[in-house]
């Protein structure tokens, strides 16, 4: 397909080429738009081992584009269990499909036309008018579009331009995360965690684990990974030190694998030895490169302003306890595609039809996530 604006087809630029941007790109292509995705990274985005609980909206996209089914989209957890302090649990039947960021990105990326995906081309700004949007890119170029979709995540340039006073706020706790290859986990860890969504709760904290696909999307036994997430309270004053990596650079949204400072990793491992149930302590110990992310809150007052709209984490960052960040982005994209298909000659009407329900979903998830997180980490709230 040509990159030129095709007559009669709305020209759409999607800022951000991760999961939300790919979902929006695919759905708007299906709705008859002429779509280009601009991704700031100059290379294929990394799978850092982030596990994702599969939800209906995400599975809908995989089925629609014939990318995966229930047998290839992730790893099934057949039971849910809560360990006691000795490491004993009572598994109860509870089926959930667990996937990974890397698997979803690879599938969606393969479905989106390569010539429409522009790596290393970041959207730096835009100017709106009655007829559309003029987009400026970081390389000094300009592009004209009928619609600009901000799918550029929690640090969204598009959101910052629309709502400069709306910024992510720190919740008071972080997520320590890590993965252990199934082949390296050992029989004792697999006996506890394989096939089970496992939790351990303690005062003002909890940790969880489930199996996810391997780094290349492998779902066969022996090729998967144990994925864990540990929520831990960190005072705001101590956050800059925690978020400063081995290279001396302070991050705002994630200290990636290999960058967490050894003394901080060892301090958290010592807490694990004294506070966690033994299987979880062993799991943390077995993790070569744990990483850390601050838990943030963000909510926008609008998701569509003129011919510019926001999807995914660019608009709302729900806390991870909702297991809804990826599915929310997918749902935003599906609904946007449906609205544009229903109003092909009137994008303004499409955005008016799309925005209210998506705002409501985002606000509900934000409230629910805060309730779940605070109940665990700050019960006095």
Looking at the DSSP bridge assignments, the partners of residue 293 are 175
In a structure prediction context, what are the per-residue pLDDT tens digits for the chain, which is 381 residues long? Answer: 233 345 579 999 999 999 999 999 999 999 999 999 999 987 666 666 689 999 999 999 999 999 999 999 999 999 999 999 999 999 999 999 999 999 999 999 999 999 999 999 999 999 999 889 999 999 999 999 999 999 999 999 999 999 999 999 999 999 999 999 999 999 999 999 999 999 999 999 999 999 999 999 999 999 999 999 999 999 999 999 999 999 999 999 999 999 999 999 999 999 999 999 999 999 999 999 999 999 999 999 999 999 999 999 999 999 999 999 999 999 999 999 999 999 999 999 999 999 999 999 999 999 999 999 999 999 987
Going along the chain from its start, the domains and CATH numbers come out as 11-42+120-166+300-377 (3.50.50.60), 51-99+170-295 (3.30.9.60)
Give CA–CA dist 293/173, Å, rounded: 9
Q: What is the pLDDT of residue 130?
A: 86
Stated length of the chain: 381
pTM greater than the 0.85 cutoff: yes
């Amino acid at each position: 397909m040509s990159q030129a604006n095709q007559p009669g087809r709305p020209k759409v630029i999607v800022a951000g080429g991760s999961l939300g941007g790919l979902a929006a790109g695919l759905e708007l292509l299906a709705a008859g738009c002429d779509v280009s995705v601009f991704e700031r990274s100059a290379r294929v985005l990394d799978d850092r081992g982030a596990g994702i609980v599969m939800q209906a909206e995400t599975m809908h996209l995989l089925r629609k584009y014939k990318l995966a089914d229930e047998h290839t989209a992730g790893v099934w957890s057949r039971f849910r269990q809560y360990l006691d302090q000795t490491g004993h649990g009572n598994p109860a039947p509870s089926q959930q499909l667990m996937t990974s960021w890397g698997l979803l990105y690879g599938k969606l990326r393969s479905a989106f036309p390569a010539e429409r995906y522009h790596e290393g081309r970041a959207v730096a700004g835009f100017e709106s008018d009655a007829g559309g949007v003029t987009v400026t890119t970081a390389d000094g170029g300009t592009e004209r579009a009928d619609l600009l979709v901000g799918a550029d995540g929690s640090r969204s340039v598009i959101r910052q331009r629309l709502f400069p006073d709306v910024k992510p706020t720190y919740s008071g706790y972080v997520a320590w995360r890590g993965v252990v290859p199934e082949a390296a986990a050992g029989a004792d860890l697999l006996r506890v965690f394989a096939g089970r969504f496992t939790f351990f709760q303690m005062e003002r904290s909890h940790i969880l684990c489930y199996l996810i696909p391997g780094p290349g999307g492998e779902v066969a036994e022996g090729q998967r990974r144990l994925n864990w997430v540990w929520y831990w309270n960190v005072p705001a004053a101590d956050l800059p030190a925690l978020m400063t990596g081995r290279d001396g650079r302070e991050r705002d949204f994630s200290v990636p694998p290999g960058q967490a400072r050894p003394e901080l990793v060892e301090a958290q491992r010592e807490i694990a030895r004294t506070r966690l149930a033994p299987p979880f302590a062993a799991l943390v110990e077995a993790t070569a490169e744990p990483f850390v992310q601050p838990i943030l809150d963000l909510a926008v007052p609008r998701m569509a302003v003129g011919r510019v709209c926001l999807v995914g984490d660019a608009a709302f960052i729900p806390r991870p306890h909702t297991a809804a960040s990826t599915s929310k982005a997918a749902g935003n994209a599906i609904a946007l595609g449906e609205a544009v298909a229903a109003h092909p000659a009137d994008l303004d009407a499409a955005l008016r039809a799309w925005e209210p329900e998506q705002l409501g979903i985002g606000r509900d998830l934000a409230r629910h996530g805060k309730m779940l997180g605070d109940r665990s980490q700050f019960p006095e709230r």
